[in-house]
C-alpha cells in the first residue's frame, strides 16, 4: 500500500506535538465588545443587516438560553467556560462583502493557501479570479462536463464568510450556495421556513446559544430534481484569540435532489481554550439525498493539555420525505473536547440514515461523540459504523441512541462500534442506547475494544516493516470502512491526518 508509506513518511517529517495549522494570521479585525448581552446580539444582527424577524428570533433564543443549564452528562471534564469572556463576533477589518476573491484580503487567501485546504488549492483559486470561468485544470480533467472533481468552497474566517467560489456556475444549475447571512437577506422565505425546523432554538444549551449569536455559515438549497454539479465545501477557521465561533449551516435538498457537502476546520495554537458551538441542520425531502462529510482538525491543545478548542456541536438531519437519505461521515482528530452527535430523524417512510465516524484522540483530548437514529417512519433503515482510537492520556467515548417508535414498523438498524487502545493511560468507552417500541424493528448492535494485535504487528514486521509502519498499516485497516465513505480528495487528506494525530503514540 503506497499510501501507507506516504503516511509514515509524513509522520516522520513532523515533530512531536507539531500541530500543522497552529499559525496565526495577523490581520486587523473588528470585534463585538466582549461578553454576551442583548446588545451583543443586536450588534451582530445589525452588522449583518438582518431583518427584524431574525433579530427577534435571536433574542428569543437568548432569553431561553438564560434559563438553561450547561449539560453535564457527557464524559468530558473541563474548567468552567466564562461566557462573558468571549468575543462573539470578529470579522477581518478591511472586510466589505467581497464581490470576488480579488477583494479578499491577500493575508486571508494566504492563510487558506497555507492550510492547503480544498479551496481546490491554487488552481481553483486562479479559476475564481477569472470570475466564474472554469480554470485550465478543470477543463483538462472534466472536458467541460460537471464532475465531482471540482469543489465549490465557502470559507469562513472567525465570524464571517470571506469567499465563496463557483457561485455563478452553481446558479446556472439552480443551486443556492452562499453564506447564511446573505441568504437571510436574499432568500428570507427559504430561511424562515427551514431555519430551526430541525434543531429548534430550545434544543439544547449550546444550540440555543448558537441560535442567539451565530454569525455566519453556509446555506445550501438544491431545487427539485437537481443533482448538485459539484461537491460543496465550507472551510472554518478560528483566528482571533478569545473568540468563539458559532456558525450555522442549513442544507435543504428538495424532492429528488442530491448534494454532497464537505466541511473542514482548523485554528491557531493558543494557551487558552476557545469555544466552538455550531449548529448544522439538514433537510431531505422526498427521494432526496444529502451526504455530509467533516474533517475536523481544530487545535487539540499541547502535550500538557493546555489550550485547544472546545467543540460543542449540534448536527441533525431530518429525512422529512419518503425514500430520502442522509449520510454523515466524520473524521475527528482535533479539539481538546469534542461533544458532537450528528443525528438522523427518519421521519419519511423508507428513509435511510447513515453515520460513519473515525474519532481519534491523543494527548489530553476528550471525545464524546456518536449519533442518534430516531426511527419514526415505516421501513426506515439506519447504519452506524464508528471507529474510535485512543492514545496518550485521552478518553474516547462513543455515545449513541437508536430508537424505534410505535409506528416505525420494519425499522432496521445495524451498529458497529470498535475501539482501539494505544497505550495504557487512555480510555475507550461505549455507551449505546437501544430503544425498541415496535416488535417488527430489528436492531443489531456490536462493539469491541482491543489492542492492536501483536500477531498482526509481528506478521508485518517479519516482512520487513518497521514497528511504526506496521502500526500505521493496521490502523489504516481498522478505519478503512469509514474512509471509503469519504469523497476521494478528503479520503487521502484524512488518511494523512490520522497518522499525524497518532504521532508520538505509535510503537
Partner 1 sequence: MADVTPMKTPAEQALTAAYEAARGKLVGKGALADLRADAFQRFEASGLPHRRVEEWKYTDLRMLMREAYPLAPAPDAAAKARAKEAGQILAGVDCRRLVFVDGAFAPELSDLTPEAGLTVGSLAEALANTGNLGDALVAEHVGKTFATEDMAVALNTAFMGDGAVIRVADDTTLQRPIHLVFASGSDKPSASFVRSLVVIGKGAQVTIIEDHDSSEAQVNAVLELVVGDDAKADYYKITRAKALHVASLLASVGAGAMFDTFAFTSDSGVVRNQHFIRFAGEDTQGNIRGVSLLRGKEHVDTTLLIDHAAGHCASREQFKAVLDDQSHGVFQGKIVVEPHAQKTDAKMMTRALMLSDEAESDNKPELEIFADDVACGHGATASALDPGLMFYLMSRGIGAKEAESLLIQSFIGEALEEIEHEGIREALTFAAVRWLGARG
Positions that interact with partner 1 (CB under 8 A): 67-69, 71, 73, 204-205, 406, 409, 419, 421-451
SS3 annotation, 201-214: CCCCHHHHHHHHHC
Q: Is 246 within 8 Å of 214 (Cβ atoms)?
A: yes
Q: At what angle do helices 467-478 and 2-13 cross, to 10 degrees?
A: 120
Nearer to partner 1, 323 or 390 (CB): 390
- Beta carbon of residue 447, minimum distance to partner 1 (angstroms, whole number): 5
d(CA 344, CA 256): 18
- Cβ atoms within 10 Å of 374's Cβ, excluding its own: 24
Q: Which is nearer to partner 1, 33 or 71 (CB)?
A: 71
Q: How far is the CB of 27 from partner 1 (least distance, A)?
A: 39
Minimum CB separation of residue 211 from partner 1 in Å reads: 15
Q: How far is CA 340 from CA 146, 227, 373, 427, in A?
A: 33, 29, 14, 18
Question: How near is the Cβ of 278 to partner 1 at its closest, in Å?
Answer: 20
Q: How far is the CB of 99 from partner 1 (least distance, A)?
A: 44
Cβ proximity to partner 1, 90 vs 384, nearer residue: 384
C-alpha cell at 500: 499525524
Q: At what angle do helices 38-47 and 52-66 cross, to 10 degrees?
A: 150
Residue placing its CB nearer to partner 1 in the complex, 406 or 463: 406
Shortest Cβ distance from residue 68 to partner 1 (Å)?
Answer: 5
CB atoms within 10 A of CB 102: 11
- Residue whose CB is less far from partner 1, 311 or 430: 430
Residue 446 C-beta: closest distance to partner 1, Å: 5
How many whole angstroms separate alpha carbon 71 and alpha carbon 165? 38
Taking the least distance from each CB to partner 1, the nearer of 159 and 208 is 208
Q: Which residue has the cell 455515545?
A: 399
- Cβ nearer to partner 1, comparing 409 with 461: 409
Helical H segments across 337-466, by residue range:
454-461
Amino acid at each position: 500500500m503506497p499510501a501507507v508509506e506516504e503516511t509514515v513518511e509524513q509522520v516522520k517529517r513532523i515533530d512531536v506535538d507539531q500541530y500543522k495549522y497552529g499559525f496565526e494570521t495577523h490581520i486587523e479585525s473588528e470585534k463585538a465588545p466582549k461578553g454576551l448581552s442583548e446588545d451583543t446580539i443586536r450588534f451582530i444582527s445589525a452588522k449583518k443587516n438582518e431583518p427584524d424577524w431574525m433579530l427577534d428570533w435571536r433574542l428569543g433564543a437568548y432569553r431561553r438560553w438564560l434559563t438553561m443549564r450547561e449539560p453535564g452528562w457527557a464524559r468530558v471534564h473541563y474548567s468552567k467556560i466564562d461566557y462573558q469572556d468571549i468575543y462573539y463576533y470578529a470579522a477581518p477589518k478591511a472586510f466589505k462583502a467581497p464581490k470576488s476573491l480579488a477583494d479578499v484580503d491577500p493575508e486571508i487567501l494566504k492563510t487558506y493557501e497555507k492550510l492547503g485546504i480544498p479551496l481546490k488549492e491554487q488552481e481553483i483559486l486562479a479559476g475564481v479570479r477569472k470570475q466564474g470561468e472554469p480554470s485550465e485544470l478543470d477543463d483538462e480533467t472534466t472536458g467541460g462536463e460537471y464532475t465531482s472533481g471540482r469543489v465549490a468552497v465557502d470559507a469562513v474566517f472567525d465570524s464571517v464568510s470571506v469567499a465563496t467560489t463557483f457561485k455563478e456556475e452553481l446558479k446556472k444549475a439552480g443551486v443556492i450556495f452562499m453564506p447564511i447571512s446573505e441568504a437571510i437577506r436574499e432568500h428570507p422565505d427559504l430561511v424562515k421556513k427551514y431555519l430551526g425546523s430541525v434543531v429548534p432554538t430550545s434544543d439544547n444549551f449550546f444550540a440555543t446559544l448558537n441560535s442567539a449569536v451565530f454569525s455566519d455559515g453556509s446555506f445550501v438549497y438544491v431545487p427539485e430534481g437537481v443533482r448538485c454539479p459539484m461537491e460543496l465545501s465550507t472551510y472554518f477557521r478560528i483566528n482571533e484569540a478569545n473568540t468563539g465561533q458559532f456558525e450555522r449551516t442549513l442544507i435543504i435538498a428538495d424532492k429528488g435532489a442530491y448534494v454532497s457537502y464537505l466541511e473542514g476546520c482548523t485554528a491557531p495554537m493558543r494557551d487558552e481554550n476557545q469555544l466552538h458551538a455550531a449548529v448544522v441542520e439538514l433537510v431531505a425531502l422526498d427521494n432526496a439525498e444529502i451526504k455530509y462529510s467533516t474533517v475536523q482538525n481544530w487545535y487539540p491543545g499541547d502535550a500538557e493539555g493546555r489550550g485547544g478548542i472546545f467543540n460543542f456541536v449540534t448536527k441533525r438531519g431530518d429525512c422529512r420525505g419518503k425514500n430520502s437519505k442522509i449520510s454523515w461521515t466524520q473524521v475527528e482528530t482535533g479539539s481538546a473536547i469534542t461533544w458532537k452527535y450528528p443525528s438522523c430523524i427518519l421521519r419519511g417512510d423508507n428513509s435511510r440514515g447513515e453515520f460513519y465516524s473515525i474519532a481519534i484522540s491523543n494527548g489530553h483530548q476528550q471525545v464524546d461523540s456518536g449519533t442518534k437514529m430516531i426511527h419514526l417512519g415505516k421501513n426506515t433503515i439506519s447504519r452506524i459504523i464508528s471507529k474510535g482510537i485512543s492514545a496518550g492520556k485521552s478518553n474516547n467515548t462513543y455515545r449513541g441512541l437508536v430508537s424505534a417508535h410505535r409506528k416505525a414498523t420494519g425499522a432496521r438498524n445495524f451498529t458497529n462500534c470498535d475501539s482501539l487502545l494505544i497505550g495504557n493511560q487512555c480510555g475507550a468507552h461505549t455507551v449505546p442506547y437501544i430503544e425498541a417500541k415496535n416488535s417488527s424493528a430489528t436492531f443489531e448492535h456490536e462493539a469491541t475494544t482491543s489492542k492492536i494485535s501483536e500477531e498482526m504487528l509481528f506478521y508485518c514486521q517479519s516482512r520487513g516493516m518497521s514497528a511504526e509502519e506496521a502500526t500505521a498499516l493496521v490502523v489504516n485497516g481498522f478505519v478503512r470502512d469509514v474512509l471509503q465513505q469519504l469523497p476521494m480528495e478528503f479520503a487521502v487528506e484524512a488518511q494523512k491526518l490520522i497518522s499525524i494525530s497518532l504521532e508520538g503514540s505509535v510503537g
